[in-house]
């Protein structure tokens, strides 16, 4: 089951940019691409936890601000020779509002 | 007895509905049609050709007097319905009351007048109906200036038409590119170029502040203070569903009048269709879906089963000579992929958006021959996996061509300047090649192209390949990144010679293989554009990497460091107190004295940055740009003011240099130092520009390094006056800005072009030196400003840094 939460308007995020949502599991980065697609990923690079929300967004990818890994926003997988994966979350756009599937984000992380 | 059907609004949707209804059940209803306009139904879509003079009103009438008579419709045109009385089932207009058994609301939309002062002045009109067209045509008779607010479909059609009628036309568009709802930046760029080539003035990112005038509109004022004269102002910034009478009647209305799949409103006796309705949270603004609604409602009214299903809608612009097509909702879903094709020479751009091997969106510009085919594949949700490789080339193509790496040079016009140093244009080079110069050396000898700094070598070689074909094999030059076949140098030259002033423009004209570049090319392009067009180009924040975007250095834990300027390494007790206070107030974990003679506050939370900056600003300090590819510091020693060996005022010169240079963007960071005597306490001999003061003047050295490489500066010149030393430093830095490859420090760049060339440019050629200084100063008129103050203000007024939402407070399930 999905649990959709309205988090913001699409226009709250700059095109080719990102902003974060705070959750009990840490920050989730919400990306907006040049053509208004949106993606949600943990705001932590699989390399050394760089804040992906601070990266440069191109097409449906983000380049990590710390050491330049490129993460595919669609899959959360590192591209090229790097190996690693970031958790992704379902999002949808309705009437210009961004809805985040918070099913796995609301509960406290298991101790 | 036939039931009484009353229809409000004689527009395109109700017109189609009545046609279908009368065909299937001519006797079912006794119909009364109210229309606010003094005429029956016409093809509203064709108002643009009427406005441009390509068509007459008569040609666009869809239902004339005869038709209404033959179908026994009681027409009450020029008579707006002002009220619906649902209890007594009647509508009220100026002419009295009229009873209904069933009511259809088809009131369409109204032009949206942006809420600014003066929007109600005479001379400000919408673009919606024939009356508007007549008003515009009357205004156009006397020529004059028209300002169109809104660069969408309507605005651009109005612009092209009014231009064709002989007016001077300016389009003001709020967003970064035209028709942003249908087009991406690349197609928007091509469209703008086309309109501009017709003499239409297009201003993007234009925020209208007010419409000026006393008796009538005579100018439009923008937020940035620009004033544009206007005899006519056309509001084309959007439309609003015309739902007022429905709201007053207490029907369920959201953005539009809410209807179900059968077009029924919240009152079972009342139906609605057209642009005034909202179905499934969507409001439509194009006729294709409205015609579907018309069919559904005609069936509903005759008791047949039918349901409205939201269709895919495509857009074309009805401006003669502009080929443009767009379909699909770019705003939804994930898991998408792009296929991009660009032909700079023909001005063609095509982009297909795929999801799960199916087309979900198409944007085409310049060549739309295959649009119907793509639209078909989209509507049918055809699996395209098998034709993926050649899909973008359309149905007629099966060969699998690859993008042409020479496309960009082929697209250069004959008079495009290839060699900036010697002013050699493309045609001169091509002529020399055709006359027998078949290698780089020969071209160089005969035309002087690439004989100086050598930056255009790549382009000259590509011209050799393009002209001689297989007869010439160019050494493989390294392109910037995988998005293009061009090198940094090629690109800079093309930006200059083709006068490209936007990133979308560069990507299109240079045949970029991706839709919006990558983390390697975007920062470089952004830099090249802002150096070339300091006044026109708007710095693109989203093309800057983390530190330059946030004007602070990111730390490994995601916090930031804050380093204010200390001009020439000088500070005061007050500044030190303000720094100490800030460190206390924001619990700064570490304070470090840097190698650049200033103080770094490390470990600041991002959210605290605007406030800490504001505090430092209040104490008179500005950003130290410790994060930028730009001027960092100017180190100085105490010089003649205090030191017993000092020969000149090294501190004073350092401060002057820093105050001149700060804020400028450069290919890589730039550090300076000024020492008061050859003992060199400011370590000037390992800087990008280092000045050593001596009794007889100033020794200016350049191209030193002390980071990953260690290198002593090389002597640029020795000069007698402080002013000359300043000018040399500024001219050298401007030459570096204009010529070096992005991310080359000065010492790497000088190694490529040779110190002799640099000396010829800035030392020997004093005229050129002055010009370089003037261009630097022009750029600094924009960039010599504190980014902290600007960002702190923005975050204060319209914060974009705090989290979008805080779900830690949200209850768990
Ligand atoms: C703060 C400072 C160290 C300190 O605490 O003293 C510093 C800190 C950094 N330096 Fe440096 N450099 C600092 C003086 C230097 C110096 C000495 C100097 O300027 O007098 C050098 C050698 C001189 C030179 O630049 O050639 C220096 C050579 C580098 C280099 C190598 C550059 C090169 O071309 O070889 C890098 C890497 C780069 O820029 O790509 C670098 C990069 C960095 C970065 C920005 C790394 C990064 O991208 O995150 C460091 C940021 C740390 C942080 O989190 O804030 N830093 N760095 C110094 C700031 C000086 C200032 O007041 O602005
Ligand atoms: C210049 C222009 C170009 C366009 N180009 C295209 C195009 O290329 N492709 C495309 O698909 N669409 C285009 N459109 C949009 C298209 O014309 C509309 O989608 C369509 O006309 C909407 O039909 P409608 O019946 O809902 O509203 P309308 O056709 O606007 O009809 C509504 C009618 O109701 C009347 N009315 C309003 N309130 C009352 C009242 N209280 N009492 C009585 N009457 C009332 C109005 O005066 C109007 O005559 C264009 C529109 C314009 C203005
Ligand atoms: S030398 Fe410079 S870049 Fe290296 S760790 Fe120290 S501050 Fe960071
Ligand atoms: S933390 Fe992302 S690349 Fe190192």
Question: By C-alpha distance, which of B143, B131, B134, B141 is closest to B39?
Answer: B131
Does residue B331 belong to the interface with chain A, where contact is any CB pair within 8 Å?
yes
Does residue B641 belong to the interface with chain A, where contact is any CB pair within 8 Å?
no
CB A71 within 8 A of CB A52: yes
* Tally: H helices and E strands in chain A: 0, 10
Is beta strand B96-99 parallel, antiparallel or unpaired with respect to B90-93? antiparallel
A35/B330 CB distance under 8 A: yes
CB B631 within 8 A of CB B625: yes
Q: Which atom of ligand 4 is nearest to the CA of A67?
A: 3
Q: Which two tokens stand for residue B249?
A: 């009647």
Question: By C-alpha distance, which of B15, B205, B164 is closest to B104?
Answer: B15
Long-range Cβ contact pairs of B255-260 (< 8 A, separation 24 or more): B255/B283, B256/B283, B257/B105
Kindly give the distance from the C-alpha atom of residue B626 to the centroid of ligand 3, in angstroms, as a whole number.
13
Residues 6+ apart with CB under 8 A from B135: B125
Residues B260-279: pLDDT tens digits?
999 999 999 999 999 999 99
Nearest CB neighbour to A22, from listed B332, B546, B807: B807
Q: How far is CA B539 from the centre of its chain?
A: 11
Kindly give the distance from the C-alpha atom of residue A31 to the centroid of ligand 4, in angstroms, as a whole number.
17
- Residue B235, SS3? strand
Residues B685-694: pLDDT tens digits?
999 999 999 9
* Amino acid B374: pLDDT: 84
* Amino acid B462: pLDDT: 84
pTM here?
0.71
pLDDT at residue B403 above 70?
A: no
Percent of chain B, pLDDT > 90? 67
Residues B107-124: pLDDT tens digits?
999 999 999 999 999 999
CB B318 within 8 A of CB B157: yes
Give the range among B20-29, B176-185, B726-735 with minimum mean pLDDT.
B176-185
How many CB atoms lie under 10 A from the CB of residue B798? Answer: 7
Instruction: Give the residue, B693 or B340, on which the prediction is more confident.
Output: B693
A68/B519 CB distance under 8 A: yes
Instruction: Please state the rounded mean pLDDT for residues B532-540.
Output: 93
Question: By C-alpha distance, which of B450, B530, B522, B456 is closest to B483?
Answer: B522
Q: CA dist A35 to A8, B183, B362, B484, B587, Å?
A: 18, 9, 12, 20, 40
Residues B411-423: pLDDT tens digits?
778 888 888 777 7
Residues B751-806: pLDDT tens digits?
989 999 999 999 999 999 999 999 999 999 999 999 999 999 999 888 889 899 99
* Amino acid B308: pLDDT: 94
Mean pLDDT computed over every residue of chain B = 91
A56/B523 CB distance under 8 A: yes
Q: Which two tokens stand for residue B639?
A: 């010089």
Residues A42-92: pLDDT tens digits?
999 999 999 999 999 998 999 999 988 999 999 999 998 788 999 999 999
* Amino acid B399: pLDDT: 45
A56/B542 CB distance under 8 A: yes
Does residue A105 belong to the interface with chain B, where contact is any CB pair within 8 Å?
yes
B515/A68 CB distance under 8 A: no
* Amino acid B1: pLDDT: 66
Does residue A67 belong to the interface with chain B, where contact is any CB pair within 8 Å?
no
Instruction: Please state the rounded mean pLDDT for residues A27-48.
Output: 94
Most confident of B301-315, B362-376, B616-630: B616-630
Q: Which two tokens stand for residue B786?
A: 């504190």
Nearest CB neighbour to A34, from listed B185, B334, B808: B185
Residues B658-672: pLDDT tens digits?
999 999 999 999 999
Residue B362's H or E segment, with its range, is strand B358-365
Domains of chain A plus CATH, in order, are 14-89 (2.102.10.10)
Q: Which two tokens stand for residue A106?
A: 């609301």
Question: By C-alpha distance, which of B743, B742, B184, B177 is closest to B491?
Answer: B742
DSSP B555-607: PTTS-EEE-B--GGG---HHHHHHHHHHHHHTT-SEEEE-TTSSEEEEEE-GG
Q: How far apart are CA B239 and CA B760, in angstroms?
A: 61
The alpha-carbon gap from A81 to the nearest alpha carbon of chain B, in Å, equals 15
B803/A20 CB distance under 8 A: yes
Nearest CB neighbour to B519, from listed A13, A63, A73: A63
* Amino acid B409: pLDDT: 80
Instruction: Please state the rounded mean pLDDT for residues B167-174.
Output: 96
* Amino acid B398: pLDDT: 42
Residue that is written with structure tokens 């805080």 in the block: B806
Q: Which two tokens stand for residue B497?
A: 């010679």
Give the range among B35-44, B454-463, B558-567, B671-680 with minimum mean pLDDT.
B454-463
A93/B519 CB distance under 8 A: no
Q: How far apart are CA B199 and CA B166, in angstroms?
A: 11
Q: How far apart are CA B650 and CA B516, in angstroms?
A: 47
How many CB atoms lie under 10 A from the CB of residue B473? Answer: 10
Kindly give the distance from the C-alpha atom of residue B339 to the centroid of ligand 3, in angstroms, as a whole number.
41
Q: With beta carbons under 8 A apart, name residues in chain A contacting B333.
A: 37, 92-93
Residues B60-106: pLDDT tens digits?
999 999 999 999 999 999 999 999 999 999 999 999 999 999 999 99
CB B643 within 8 A of CB B680: no
3-state secondary structure B436-491: CCCCHHHHHHHHCCCCCCCCCHHHHHHHHHHHHHHHCCCCCCCCCCCCCCCCHHHH
Residue B220: CA count within 13 A, CB half-sphere: 28
* Amino acid B656: pLDDT: 97
Quote the DSSP letter at residue B423.
T
Beta strands per DSSP E along A1-111: 4-9, 17-23, 26-32, 38-42, 56-58, 61-63, 70-72, 88-89, 91-94, 97-101
A63/B813 CB distance under 8 A: no
Does residue A69 belong to the interface with chain B, where contact is any CB pair within 8 Å?
no
Ligand 4 pocket test: which of A61, A67, A83 has the largest number of ligand atoms within 8 Å of its C-beta?
A: A67
Residue B272: nearest ligand to its CA?
2
Is the ipTM above a cut-off of 0.85? no
Most confident of B380-384, B462-466, B693-697: B693-697
Q: With beta carbons under 8 A apart, name residues in chain B contacting A10.
A: 331
Give the range among B149-163, B291-305, B430-444, B534-548 with minimum mean pLDDT.
B430-444
Quote the DSSP letter at residue B811.
P
A108/B812 CB distance under 8 A: yes
Q: Which atom of ligand 4 is nearest to the CA of A50?
A: 1
Q: Which two tokens stand for residue B113?
A: 């007048």
CB B679 within 8 A of CB B645: yes
Residue B626: nearest ligand to its CA?
1
pLDDT at residue B282 above 90?
A: no
| Residue from B339, B539, B542, B799 whose CB has the most chain A CBs within 10 Å, to mutate | B542
* Amino acid A108: pLDDT: 67
Is beta strand B697-702 parallel, antiparallel or unpaired with respect to B314-316? unpaired
Instruction: Please state the rounded mean pLDDT for residues B288-317.
Output: 89
Residue B91: nearest ligand to its CA?
2
The alpha-carbon gap from A65 to the nearest alpha carbon of chain B, in Å, equals 6
Instruction: Please state the rounded mean pLDDT for residues A2-8.
Output: 90
From the CB of B37, is ligand 2 less than 6 Å away? yes
B353/A35 CB distance under 8 A: yes
* Amino acid B400: pLDDT: 43
Give me the total of CB pairs closer than 8 Å, taking one residue from chain A and one from chain B: 133
Residues B144-163: pLDDT tens digits?
999 999 998 899 999 999 99
pLDDT at residue B631 above 70?
A: yes
Nearest CB neighbour to B516, from listed A13, A58, A74: A58
* Amino acid A111: pLDDT: 44
Does residue A87 belong to the interface with chain B, where contact is any CB pair within 8 Å?
no
The alpha-carbon gap from A71 to the nearest alpha carbon of chain B, in Å, equals 12
Give the range among B320-334, B460-474, B563-577, B582-596 with minimum mean pLDDT.
B320-334
How many CB atoms lie under 10 A from the CB of residue A67? Answer: 11
The alpha-carbon gap from A38 to the nearest alpha carbon of chain B, in Å, equals 7
From the CB of B50, is ligand 2 less than 6 Å away? no
Partnered with residue A56 across adjacent β-strands are A63
pLDDT at residue B402 above 70?
A: no
Question: By C-alpha distance, which of B212, B450, B160 is closest to B322?
Answer: B160
* Amino acid B684: pLDDT: 97
Kindly give the distance from the C-alpha atom of residue B542 to the centroid of ligand 1, in angstroms, as a whole number.
24
From the CB of A79, is ligand 4 less than 6 Å away? no
* Amino acid B331: pLDDT: 44
User: Of all residues in chain A, what percent are helix, strand and coil, respectively (each to 5)?
Assistant: 5, 45, 50
Instruction: Give the residue, B802 or B330, on which the prediction is more confident.
Output: B802
Percent of chain A, pLDDT > 70? 95
Instruction: Give the residue, A85 or B810, on which the prediction is more confident.
Output: A85
From the CB of B561, is ligand 1 less than 6 Å away? yes
Residue of B nearest to A3 (CA): B813
Q: Which two tokens stand for residue A51?
A: 């804040």
* Stated length of chain B: 813
Q: How far apart are CA B82 and CA B325, in angstroms?
A: 39
Nearest CB neighbour to A37, from listed B334, B806, B812: B334
């Amino acid at each position: 089951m999905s649990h959709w939460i309205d988090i913001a308007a699409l226009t709250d995020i700059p095109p080719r940019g990102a902003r974060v949502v705070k959750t009990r599991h840490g920050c989730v980065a919400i990306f907006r691409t040049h053509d208004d697609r949106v993606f949600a990923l943990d705001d932590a690079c699989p390399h050394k936890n760089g804040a992906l929300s601070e990266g440069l967004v191109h097409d449906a990818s983000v380049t990590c601000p710390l050491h330049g890994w490129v993460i595919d926003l669609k899959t959360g997988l590192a591209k090229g020779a790097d190996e690693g994966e970031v958790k992704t979350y379902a999002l949808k756009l309705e009437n210009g509002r961004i809805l985040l599937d918070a099913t796995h984000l609301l509960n406290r992380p298991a101790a | 007895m036939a039931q009484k059907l009353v229809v409000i609004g004689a527009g395109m949707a109700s017109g189609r509905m009545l046609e279908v209804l009368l065909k299937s059940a001519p006797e079912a209803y006794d119909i009364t049609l109210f229309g606010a306009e003094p005429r029956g139904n016409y093809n509203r879509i064709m108002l643009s050709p009427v406005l441009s003079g390509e068509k007459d009103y008569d040609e666009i009438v869809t239902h004339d007097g005869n038709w209404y008579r033959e179908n026994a419709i009681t027409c009450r045109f020029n008579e707006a319905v002002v009220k619906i009385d649902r209890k007594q089932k009647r509508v009220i207009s100026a002419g009295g009351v009229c009873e209904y058994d069933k009511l259809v609301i088809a009131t369409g939309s109204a032009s949206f007048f942006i809420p600014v002062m003066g929007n109600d002045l005479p001379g400000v009109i919408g673009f919606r109906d024939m009356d508007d067209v007549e008003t515009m045509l009357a205004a156009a008779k006397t020529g004059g200036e028209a300002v169109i607010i809104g660069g969408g479909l309507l605005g651009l059609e109005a612009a092209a038409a009014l231009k064709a009628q002989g007016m001077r036309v300016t389009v003001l568009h709020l967003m970064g590119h035209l028709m942003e709802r249908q087009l991406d930046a690349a197609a928007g760029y091509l469209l703008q170029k086309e309109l501009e080539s017709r003499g239409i003035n297009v201003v993007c990112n234009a925020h209208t502040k007010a419409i000026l005038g006393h008796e009538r509109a005579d100018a439009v004022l923008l937020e940035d203070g620009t004033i544009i004269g206007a005899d006519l102002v056309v509001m084309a910034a959007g439309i609003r569903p015309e739902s007022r009478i429905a709201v007053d009647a207490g029907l369920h209305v959201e953005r539009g009048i809410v209807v179900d799949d059968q077009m029924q409103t919240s009152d079972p006796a009342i139906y609605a269709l057209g642009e005034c309705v909202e179905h499934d949270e969507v409001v439509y603004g194009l006729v294709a879906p409205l015609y579907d609604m018309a069919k559904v409602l005609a069936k509903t009214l005759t008791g047949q089963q039918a349901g409205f299903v939201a269709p895919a809608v495509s857009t074309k612009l009805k401006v003669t000579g502009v080929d443009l097509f767009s379909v699909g909702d770019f705003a939804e879903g994930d898991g998408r992929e792009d296929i991009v094709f660009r032909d700079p020479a023909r001005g063609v751009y095509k982009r297909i958006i795929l999801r799960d091997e199916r087309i979900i969106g198409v944007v085409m510009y310049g060549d739309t021959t295959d649009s119907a085919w793509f639209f078909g594949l989209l509507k049918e949700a055809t699996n395209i996996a098998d034709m993926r490789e050649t899909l973008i080339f359309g149905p007629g193509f099966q060969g699998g061509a690859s993008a042409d790496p020479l496309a960009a040079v082929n697209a250069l016009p004959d008079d495009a300047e290839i060699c900036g140093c010697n002013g050699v244009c493309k045609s001169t080079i091509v002529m020399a090649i055709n006359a027998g110069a078949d290698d780089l050396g020969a071209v160089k000898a005969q035309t002087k192209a690439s004989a100086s700094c050598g930056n255009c070598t790549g382009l000259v070689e590509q011209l050799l390949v393009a002209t001689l074909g297989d007869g010439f094999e160019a050494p493989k030059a390294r392109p910037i990144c995988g998005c293009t076949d061009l090198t940094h140098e090629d690109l800079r030259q093309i930006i200059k010679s083709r006068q490209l002033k936007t990133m979308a423009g560069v990507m299109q004209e240079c045949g970029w293989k991706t839709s919006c570049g990558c983390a390697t090319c975007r920062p470089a392009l952004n830099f090249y554009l802002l150096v070339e067009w300091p006044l026109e180009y708007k710095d693109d924040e989203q093309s800057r990497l983390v530190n330059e975007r946030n004007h602070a250095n990111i730390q490994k834990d995601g916090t930031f460091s804050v380093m204010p300027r200390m001009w020439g390494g000088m500070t005061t007790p007050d500044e030190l107190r303000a720094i100490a206070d800030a460190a206390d107030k924001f619990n700064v974990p570490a304070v470090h004295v840097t190698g650049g003679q200033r103080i770094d506050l490390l470990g600041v939370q991002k959210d605290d940055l605007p406030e800490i900056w504001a505090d430092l600003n209040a104490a008179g300090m500005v950003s130290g740009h410790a994060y930028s590819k730009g001027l960092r510091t100017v180190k100085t020693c105490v010089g003649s003011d205090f030191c017993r060996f000092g020969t000149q005022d090294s501190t004073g010169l350092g401060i002057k240099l820093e105050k001149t240079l700060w804020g400028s963007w450069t290919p890589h960071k730039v550090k300076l130092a000024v020492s008061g005597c050859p003992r060199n306490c400011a370590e000037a001999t390992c800087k990008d520009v280092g000045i050593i003061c001596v009794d007889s003047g100033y020794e200016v050295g350049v191209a030193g390094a002390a980071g990953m490489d260690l290198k002593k500066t090389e002597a640029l010149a020795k000069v007698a006056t402080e002013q000359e030393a300043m000018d040399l430093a500024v001219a050298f830095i401007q030459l570096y800005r204009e010529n070096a490859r992005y991310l080359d420090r000065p010492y790497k760049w000088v190694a490529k072009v040779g110190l002799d060339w640099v000396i010829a440019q800035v030392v020997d050629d004093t005229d050129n030196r002055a010009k370089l200084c003037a261009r630097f100063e022009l750029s600094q008129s924009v960039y010599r400003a504190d980014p902290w103050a600007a960002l702190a203000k923005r975050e204060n007024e319209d914060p974009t840094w705090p989290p979008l939402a805080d779900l830690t407070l949200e209850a768990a399930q």
